[in-house]
Structure 1
Amino acid sequence: MADSSKKMSLMGLTTLVTVNMMGSGIIMLPTNMAQLGAISLLSWIVTAIGSMAIAYCFSQCGIFCTKSGGLSAYTEEAHAKSGFFLCSYLYFISLAIANVAVAISAVGYMSSFVPWLSSGAIPLFIGTVGLLWITTLANFGGPSITGKIGSVTVWGVIIPVAGLSIIGWFWFKADILAAAWDPHNLPISEAVGKAIPLTLWAFLGMESAAQATDAVEDPKRNVPLACLFGTLGAAVVYVLSTTVIQGIIPNDELAKSAAPFALVYAHIFNPMIGNIILALAVMACVGSLLGWQFTLAQTAKMTADQDLFLKLFSKVSARGAPIVGMIVCGVLQTLMAVSTISPNASAQFSKLVNLAAVTNLIPYVTALTGLLVMMHKAKASPAIYTRNTAVLLIAVAYSLYALYACGKDAVFGGTLVLAFGYLLYGFLAKRFVNEPLTVQTRAGNP
C-alpha cells in the first residue's frame, strides 16, 4: 500500500489541474475576442459553468471507472467497443488539430522577433510546420524529458497572464473597455455564441484531471474538489486577464495583434519588457506543444494497444517513446497545416480552434453519458445518482450548445471526420464480434 505522505494533497492537485489547463490556450484569445468586441467576455460565464460541470462529471467517472483509457474507457461503459474506438479516434484528431493551432500561436509570437514569419501564407506555414517537427523530434528522448521541460516552460504563460490579472488594473480605463464593448452591434446571444468556441478552447484539457486518482490523498473527496477548484481558478485568471487587457489596449489595435500579452506589457512598461513577455510566451508555447505532441502519440499508442489503431503506433523505443507513431502524427499535422494555410495567423487559429472544439466535444458527450452506466453498475446511492445526473445534464447541455456555437462549417467538418471513423471501425469490428454476445449473456443472467 502506498505511503499516503507521498501522495498529492488537494492544494497540489488543484495547482496541477490549473497549470495543465492554462498552458498555451490563453495567449491568442484576447486578439480573437477583440475581433468580436468586449461583449464576447460574457461568454466566459457560460463556459465557466459548463466547464465546471464537465470537469466534475469527469472526476466522478475517474472514481467509478476502474479501466484505463480515460475518456475512451468512460465511453465504452455506455457505448461498447465501437464507442472506445470513436472516442479515441476523435480525441486523437482533436489533439492533432489543436497542436497545429498551438504552433500557429507560437509562430505568431515569434514573428515579432522574425518579421519574415508574418510576411505571408508560405512563411507562416513554414514556421508552423518547422515547429511541429522540432517538437516531434524533441520527444524522441522519452516521457521523462518531456515532462521536465513542460513543467518549467508552462510558467512562461502562467506568470505573465496571472500577473496581468493583478497588476493590470492600475492601467485599466473603463472608457477604453466601453468603446470596445460592441463595435459590430451584435446581439448579446450572437456575440456569446461566436465566442464560445474560443473560451472553450482555453478549458480543453480539463479531462486530464481525473487521471491522477492513484496518486492523490483521499481521491473520492480531493479529485472532484481539485477538478472544480482548478477549473474555477483557471476561469478567474482567464476572465480577469482578458477583461483588463480590453481596458488597456484600444480594440482596433488589440484585434490586429499577433502577440496581445506582449503588446499590453510593452504598453504598460516599455518595449524591452514586452519582448521579455514575448520570449516567455514563445517558450511556453513550445513547451506546451512538446507535451501535447507526446500526448497525441500516447493516445494513439493506447488505442493501438486495444487493437483499434495500427500496431505501428504501439512500438516504443528503449526510452519509452513511440517514435514511429510520432512520425506518423507529424505527417498528419503537416497535412492539416497545408489544408488551413492562410496569411493571417489569427484567422488560421480561429478556423482550427472551431474544428478542434467540435472533435473534442463529441467525445465529451459520449464519455459523460458513460457515467450513468457506471453509477448503475456501482449501485450508487440515490443522493449521489441524483446529484451527478443533474450536473451531467448541465454538462451535456453546455456541450451541445458549444457544438452549435462552433458554426456549420466546423460541425460539417467534424461530421465528416466522425463518419469516416465509422468506416474505419467497420474494418476493425470483426476482431470484437464475440464481445456483444458476452454482454448479452451477462445481461440475461439473474
Structure 2
Amino acid sequence: MTELRDRSAETNLFNNSSNKDELPPKNPDTVSRVSDVELKRQVGLMSGIALIVGTMIGSGIFVSPKGVLRQTESVGMSLIIWLACGVLSMLGAVSYAELGTFIPKSGAEYAYLFEGFGGIPAFLFAWISVVILRPASVAAIALTFGNYAAQPFFPYGCEIPDIVIKLLAGSCILIIAWANCYSVRLATSVQNVFTVAKLLAIAIIIMTGFVRLGQGHTEYLNRSFEGSSTNGFAYAIAFYQGLWAYDGWNNLNYVTEEIKNPYRNLPLSIMIGIPLVTLCYLLVNISYFTVMSPDELLASSAVAVTLADRTLGVMAWIMPVFVALSTFGAANGTLFTSGRLTFVAAREGHMVEVLSMVHVKRLTPFPAVAFTSFLSILMIIPSNFDQLVNYFSFTAWLFYGGTMLALIVMRFTKKDVKRPIKVPIIIPIIVFLASIYLVIAPIIDEPALEYLYATIFIFAGLIFYIPFVYYKYIPPFMRKFTIFFQLLLEIAPTKTMPIG
C-alpha cells in the first residue's frame, strides 16, 4: 500500500513533522481528530449518472450553440463539432475511469497529477482550479441561471437589467452552498431531481424539432455545409464553446471516495451518461435549426427561449423555467465536485488545513464548499460569459492533457500495479494530442494577452508553493486561525484515504 501523501518535498502547511515517509501528525493544539469523521460512500449508480448528466447538461447547450456556429459558419460543421466534442469527452472519460479505479481518491486531476508527476504539477492544478477555474465555472452557470430565471418576468425582447441577473445568480450560489454544506444526501437528491427537470427541457426541445421536421421545416438543414469556415485554427474556439457544454464528463472522479462500489459504478455511470448527453445535444441542435435560421440563432440572446416563443404559444414560459432549473442543477453538481477538489488539495497539504476538514455532524466538507461559493459569488461581478468560458477552456485543457500524459507515463512507471480497468493506450494518446491542439490553436488564430495572463497566473502559484509547501514555512498566526475555525464551524480533520 502506498500513500498519495508520501512525497519527500511536501508536507501540510500547518504540520511540523520532519518524517518524510509518514503522514505528519496534526498540530497537537488543534481540536483532536475524530476517528470516524470522514466522507461516506453515498453516491450510487443513479446518483453517479445524475451527477454526470446533471453537470454536463447545464447552461452550455442553451448558450454555446451560438459560439460553435459563429466559428464554424455552417450548420453542418457545427453539428460535426458537437458530435466530435461528445466523442472526445467520452475518450477522456474512459481514460479517467482507468485512473479513478487505479487511484481511488477524490480530486480527479489533482490526485492523478500528484501520483504521476509529484507535488508541483498537482499543486499548480489545485492552485488555478481552486482559485479561478472551478469558481468561474460555477459563476458562469449561475449567471445563465439568472438570465433564464428572469425571462418570464420581462416581455419578449426586453433587455433584462444586469443587476437582476447578478442578484439571481448570487441567490442560486447561496442556496446550493447551503444544500451542499447541510448534507451529502440532500445535495445528491437535489442533483437527481433537477436532472429530471433538465431532461424534460431537453425532451420538449427535441419533440418540437421532430414536429417541425414532420411539417417539412428543413430549409436550414439543406445544403448545411455551405459557407463552412476554412480556418482550421478557428475550430479550436468552436471546440471550446462545445466542450463547455460537455464539461462535467470528469466530475464523478472528483467524488471517487464517496461512490458506492466505484469499480462498477464509476465506469458504468460514464458509459451511460456521456452517450446520452451526446445524443441529446445533437438532437437539440437539429431542433434549433428547424425553427431558426443561422443568422437568427446568432442574434438570439437565449436560444431555447426563442424556440419556445416561436413554437409553444402561451406555454412558452415553461422553457425559461425548465432551463433555469437545468442550470440550477448544473451549478449544484459543479459546486459539489469543486468543494471536493478543494478538500482533497487541502488534505494533501497544498491548501490551508482548515479547508481539509469535515463537519463533525453533517459529514460534509463544509469549509471547502463555503470557500468555493464565496469565490464564485465574487466572480459574478464582472459577468462576461464568453471570457469566462474561453479562460476556463484554455486552462482546463492544459491540465486535461497533463492528466492524459500522466496516465501514459504511469503505464511504464507503475506497470505492475493492478488496474481494474485498462483502456487501450491509444485512447489517452488521442486525448493528449487533442488537448495540445486545443491549447495552441486559439493562440495562433487569435493571439490575446489573456492567454499569457492565464499562463503567468498558473506559474504564480510557485510563489506560494516554494515557501509554504517545499520549505514548510508556518505563519505564526495560523495555529490560532485553525483552532478558531474548528471551534466556530464544528469541523475536524478526516482520515487519510490510502491508495490501494
Using the size of structure 1 for normalisation, the TM-score is 0.80
Contact persistence 2:43–2:188 (CA under 8 A): no
Q: Which residue in 2 is equivalent to 1:439?
A: none
Please state if 1:48 is matched with 2:86. yes
**Residues 60 and 245, structure 2, Cα contact 8 Å, conserved in 1:** yes
The equivalent residue for 2:65 is 30
8 Å Cα contact 2:354/2:367 also seen in 1: yes
d(CA) in 2 for partners of 1:20 and 1:123? 24
- Is 2:234–2:441's contact at 8 Å kept on the other side of the alignment? no
SS in 1 for 2:330: helix
Uncovered stretches (5+) of structure 2, i.e. residues with no partner: 1-41, 474-500
The more displaced of 253-262 and 120-129 is 120-129
The aligned residue for residue 193 of structure 2 is 152
| CA distance in 1: counterparts of 2:462 and 2:169, whole angstroms | 31
- How far residue 19 of structure 1 moved from its aligned partner, in angstroms, is 4.2
The one of 210, 218, 226 equivalent to 1:174 is 218
Q: Deviations over 1:97-155 (max 9, x none)?
A: 11111011111212312339944444444443343334334444232222211210122
1:247 equivalent to 2:285? Answer no
- Paired AA for residue 260 in structure 1: V
Question: Residues 309-334 of structure 1: CA distance to partner in whole angstroms, max 9, x if unpaired?
Answer: 11232344332344444443333223
What residue is the counterpart of 2:328 in the other structure? 286
| Structure 1 residues 403 and 247: CA distance shift in structure 2, 3 A | farther
What is the letter of the counterpart of residue 427 of structure 1?
P
Report the Cα offset of residue 413 of structure 1.
3.7
Please give the root-mean-square deviation of Cα atoms over the aligned residues, in Å. 3.4
Q: Against the structure 1 CA distance between its residues 12 and 104, is the aligned structure 2 distance closer, same or farther, given a 3 Å change threshold?
A: closer
Structure-to-structure mapping, 1:191-270, within 5 angstroms = 192-210=235-253, 215-216=260-261, 219=264, 223-224=266-267, 226-270=269-313
Q: Are 1:422 and 2:458 counterparts?
A: no
Name the CA distance, whole Å, in 1 between partners of 2:365 and 2:432: 34
Q: Give the Cα separation in 2 of the matches to 1:94 and 1:226.
A: 24
SS of 2:151's equivalent in the other structure is coil
Q: Does 1:88 align with 2:126?
A: yes
Counterpart residue type for residue 90 of structure 2: M
Change (3 A) 1:31 1:267: same
Percent identical: 21
Whole-angstrom CA distance in 2 between matches of 1:76 and 1:148: 32
Q: Whole-Å Cα distance in 2 between the matches of residues 161 and 50 of structure 1?
A: 22
Is structure 2 residue 387 aligned with structure 1 residue 355?
A: no
Could you tell me which of 93, 96, 120 is aligned with 1:58? 96
Structure 1 residues 394-403 or 11-20, which shifts more?
Answer: 11-20
**Contact 1:75–1:367 (CA under 8 A) maintained in structure 2:** yes
Query: TM-score, normalising length from structure 2?
Result: 0.72
> What one-letter code is carried by the residue in structure 1 that aligns with 2:61?
I
SS of equivalent residue, structure 1 residue 247: helix
- AA in 1 matched with 2:177: T
Q: Distance in 2 between matches of 1:48 and 1:175?
A: 26
Task: Find the aligned partners of 2:470 and 2:203 in 1 and give their Cα distance.
Answer: 51
Gap change, CA 1:326 and 1:231, over 3 Å in 2: closer
> For residues 32 and 180 of structure 1, do their structure 2 counterparts lie closer, same or farther at Cα, with a shift above 3 Å needed?
farther
Residues 404 and 123 from structure 1, CA distance in 2 versus in 1: closer, same or farther, beyond 3 angstroms? farther
Q: How far did 1:178 drift? A: 4.9
Q: Which one-letter code corresponds to 1:256 in the other structure?
A: A
Distance (Å, rounded) in 2 between the aligned partners of 1:139 and 1:17: 17
Provide the rounded CA distance (Å) in 1 between the counterparts of 2:177 and 2:47: 29
**Is the contact made by 2:408 and 2:429 (CA closer than 8 Å) also made in structure 1?**
no
Letter of the 2:110 partner, please give it: S
Contact kept in structure 1, 2:208 and 2:287, CA below 8 Å: no
Query: Residue 317 of structure 2: which of 275, 279, 284 is its match?
Result: 275
Please state how far the C-alpha of 1:228 moved relative to its aligned partner: 4.2
Relative to structure 1, the CA distance from residue 200 to residue 7 in structure 2 (aligned partners, 3 Å threshold; closer, same or farther) is: closer
In structure 2, relative to structure 1, the CA distance for the partners of 1:192 and 1:308 (3 Å cut) is same
Distance in 2, matches of 1:111 and 1:401, equals 38
Query: Which shows bigger deviation, 424-433 or 66-75?
Result: 424-433
CA distance in 1, matches of 2:353, 2:442: 34
Conserved 8 A contact 1:358-1:403: yes
Letter in 1 for 2:440: Y
Bigger mean CA offset, 229-238 vs 126-135: 126-135
Structure 1 stretches lacking a partner, 5+ long: 1-5, 342-347, 434-446
Higher helix share: 1
- The residue matched to 2:60 in structure 1 has which SS? coil
Alpha-carbon distance in structure 2 between the residues aligned to 1:406 and 1:162: 34
Give the aligned partner of residue 344 of structure 1: none
Question: What's the secondary structure of 2:363's corresponding residue?
Answer: coil
SS at match of 2:416: coil
Tell me how many residue pairs correspond in the alignment: 414
